[in-house]
Amino acid sequence: MNVRTALEQRQSVRAFLPQNVAREVIERILDAARHAPSGGNTQPWQVAIVSGQKKLKLQLEIETAFRSGEPGAMDYPYYPRDWSPPYQGRRKSCALQLYETLGIGPEDRQARTEQWVANYRAFDAPVVLFFFLDPVMETGSFLDYGMFIQSVMLMAVEEGLATCPQASLGEYPQIVKKSLGYPAESILLCGMALGYADRNAVANSYRTPREPAPSFARFFQD
């Protein structure tokens, strides 16, 4: 599989088969992703791979916190505090596309809530990855981490697996850190669902659009 094919096939999958992912497959993915670049070769990534009963227990803790009304609070601001075009419109369109695909109307608040809660179960994928960062690192390491996470997702495609990178899995960081034994001061960047996609699921039947390159790229020359 070439890189272009992997880039085009990757999608954020929201329904997975109840099929386990072999540890050696995950190890192959991470062994390849570790070649991602980082400033000064700092390699800031720290990855927790959670599955089985440990995953079930952790996702129940997070879901319980959400349903009890405990507000989520990521270790850093993921989205802007003040939205502006075109970003706000793209985000709304993304959510609307999901709900329309699932047949969830704007008035069905309960169905929308349950679909959101599915985030905290990593959409029932058999494996969830949590990405941690040492608090001594600065903003540059977020760039490094992005390249590493993309590498993980592309390698997953090559292995016949699907992923969904999720900021939502970072909304209750202290629960995750306590459960997995990470320092409270560490930074939980996000999580990622990993497993085999259920290609017959309605949730996986659509693709979000992307802007064409000429809309965001500018060439400068003499």
**Residue 72 domain-assigned?**
yes
Distance CA 189, CA 186 (A): 9
CA distances from 9 to 3, 37, 191, 207 (A): 10, 23, 20, 10
pLDDT at 63 over 90: yes
Q: Does the structure show a pLDDT above 90 at 222?
A: no
Looking at residue 40, which CATH number applies to its domain?
3.40.109.10
Q: Is residue 167 part of a domain?
A: yes
Q: What is the pLDDT of residue 110?
A: 96
Token pair, residue 55, equals 């995953």
Residue 139 domain flag: yes
pLDDT band at residue 151 using 50, 70 and 90 as cut-offs: very high
Residue range(s) defining the domain that contains residue 199: 3-78+119-206
- Per-residue pLDDT of 76-124, as tens digits, reads 999 999 999 999 999 999 999 999 999 999 899 999 999 999 999 999 9
Asked whether residue 219 is domain-assigned, the answer is no
Residue 198 lies in a domain: yes
Q: What percent of the chain has pLDDT over 90?
A: 99
Q: Under a CB-based contact definition with an 8 Å cutoff, are residues 104 and 115 in contact? A: yes
In a domain? residue 114:
no
Q: Is the residue at 38 inside a domain?
A: yes
215: confidence class by pLDDT, cuts 50, 70, 90: very high
Q: pLDDT at position 1, please?
A: 86
| Residue 34's pLDDT band (cuts 50, 70, 90) | very high
| pLDDT-based confidence at residue 152 (cuts at 50, 70, 90) | very high
Residue 83 lies in a domain: no
State how far the Cα of 219 lies from the Cα of 222, in Å rounded to an integer: 10
Average pLDDT on 117-136 reads: 98
Q: What pLDDT sits at residue 161?
A: 98
Sign (positive or negative) of CA dihedral 219, 78, 132, 3: negative
Q: How many domains does the chain have?
A: 1
